[in-house]
Homo-oligomer: A and B are copies of this chain.
Amino acid sequence: MEDEKTLKTMPRLDESLLTHIPPFSKLGLTEIREILDQASSRRYGEGVAVFSEGGDADRFFMLLDGYIRVIRITETGEQVISLHIPSGQLFGIARALGRDTYPATAVTASEAIILSWPTSLWDRFVIDYDGFSTETYKIVGKRVGEMNMRLVEMATQQVEQRVANALMRLINQTGRKVEDGIEVDFPITRQDLSEMTATTLHTVSRLLSGWEKQGLIKSRRKRIVVTNPHGLMLLSQQR
């Protein structure tokens, strides 16, 4: 769980890694080259903490491949998953929100490849690269919007709707087409889903069993395939 910092600066990162990613997509190749030359790259195993709540926000990150879960832990030890980050997004950008410690913990939900830069470079990026700031805040805006949606959901919806919603969101954002439907693209347990929807793993298990009987999903250990997205959507909206 401890992340021993083995930051290796890869001698040659391919420019094409970034050319289609929002905060960089408006930049020229030379600029992207500059940015990459200052980045560290690292592979993380599944379930590893990239940074921890309260820690010094000394670096910011870009997820090249894999998935990241942003979690918070309460005084009583319960976990709450506040966000999933798909590949191609910046995260740990405390600096952009005027913070100097990380407000939450980031854990890899699957194997991941992550670029990072020292936070001291943030201001330089903002100044030097046109559009970088604007594009970044669009991402922030989206995340704020998502959090807001979840707040409203938690305040007004029943457990079944919330879990259905969470699952829909997962397959929309991180779904991968498989033969009989769309599969959540990283290992996910009942417990994880319960921590995303403020319920217990038991309730999630019962719901998934029910849905499987209705032919909406198929699931095996840590894997969920949604075979009938439309049916699931109806569930998430009903009432």
A interface with B by C-beta (< 8 Å): 72, 74, 76, 78, 80, 82, 94, 96-99, 103-104, 133-135, 137-138, 140-141, 144-145, 147-148, 150-152, 154-156, 195, 198, 239
Contacts and interface: CB of A to CB of B under 8 A. Distances in A.
Given A74-B152, A154-B154, A154-B198, A99 B147 contact: no
A148 B147 CA distance: 8
Contacts of A80: 151-152, 155-156
A60 to B, nearest CB: 14
Given A78-B156, A80-B156, A98 B151 contact: no
A156 B97 contact: no
A151 B154 contact: yes
Contacts of A239: 76
Q: How many copies does the complex hold?
A: 2
17 contacts: A72-B148, A72-B152, A74-B156, A76-B239, A78-B156, A82-B148, A96-B137, A97-B138, A97-B140, A97-B141, A98-B135, A98-B137, A98-B140, A133-B133, A140-B140, A155-B195, A155-B198
Nearest to A103: B145
B82 A141 contact: no
Contact of A147 (B78, B98, B144): B144
A147 B151 contact: yes
Nearest to A95: B137
A54 to B, nearest CB: 12
A104 B149 CA distance: 11
Given A156-B78, A239-B76, A144 B104 contact: no
Contact of A144 (B97, B138, B154, B156): B97
Contact of A151 (B82, B94, B138): B82
A239 to B, nearest CB: 7
Contacts of A134: 98
A133 B154 CA distance: 32
A3 B152 CA distance: 25
A198 B80 CA distance: 18
